């Protein structure tokens, strides 16, 4: 077993970011317009690797950032991050991006989210995890619902993309809801 390995499912394993080796993936994904459309509300602007590296170094320790690797061939396909912790409220935020288009919509992101929720609720003893998703990202919304996230609200017409205004959907999951899902029989 690789001593960097933190969590492993059937399809993915989550490992810490290795800036020296994995910065190239961030640069590659940054040039993918579909990835940018799904991940960020800002206009897509390529970021030089040195700037991205500086960002990660400055924010080191403020959250838990994992790279998503495939189990079969250890290919780096995305990231998932827990941050925005409010330790008094025992809450945090999660964000995920599957950068490799060949792995989108095939359950890799769902499994990565399930692994990170396990860490958030069991490992960090959090009570609540929040996320935001663009209303046009139906595939992500379905994935989050599979993981137990519930609709909590709508921020109306926040995003302007493709000559159209879009909502941001607020979703959340409580520890008790997640625990109930863990006791359900596997289908």
Q: What is the pTM of this model?
A: 0.87
> Which pLDDT tens digit goes with each residue over 57-113?
555 556 888 999 999 999 999 999 999 999 999 999 999 999 999 999 999 999 999
Q: How confident is the model at residue 18 (pLDDT cuts 50, 70, 90)?
A: confident
71 vs 162 pLDDT, higher one: 71
Which domains does the chain carry? 7-182 (3.40.630.30)
In contact, 172 and 132? CB cutoff 8 Å: no
pLDDT at 186 over 70: no
């Amino acid at each position: 077993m690789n001593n960097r390995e933190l969590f492993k499912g059937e399809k993915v394993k989550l490992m810490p970011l290795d800036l020296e080796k994995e910065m190239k993936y961030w640069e590659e994904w940054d040039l993918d317009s579909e990835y940018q459309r799904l991940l960020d509300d800002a206009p897509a602007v390529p970021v030089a690797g040195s700037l991205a590296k500086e960002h990660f170094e400055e924010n080191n320790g403020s959250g838990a950032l994992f790279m998503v690797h495939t189990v079969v061939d250890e290919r780096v396909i995305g990231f998932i991050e827990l941050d925005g912790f409010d330790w008094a409220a025992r809450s945090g935020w999660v964000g995920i991006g599957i950068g490799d288009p060949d792995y989108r919509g095939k359950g890799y992101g769902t499994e990565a989210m399930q692994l990170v929720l396990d860490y958030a609720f069991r490992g960090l003893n959090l009570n609540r995890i929040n996320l935001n998703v663009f209303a046009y990202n139906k595939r992500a919304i379905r994935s989050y619902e599979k993981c137990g996230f519930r609709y909590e609200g709508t921020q109306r017409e926040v995003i302007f993309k493709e000559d159209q205004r879009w909502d941001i959907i607020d979703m959340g999951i409580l520890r008790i809801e997640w625990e109930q899902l863990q006791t359900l029989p596997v289908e």
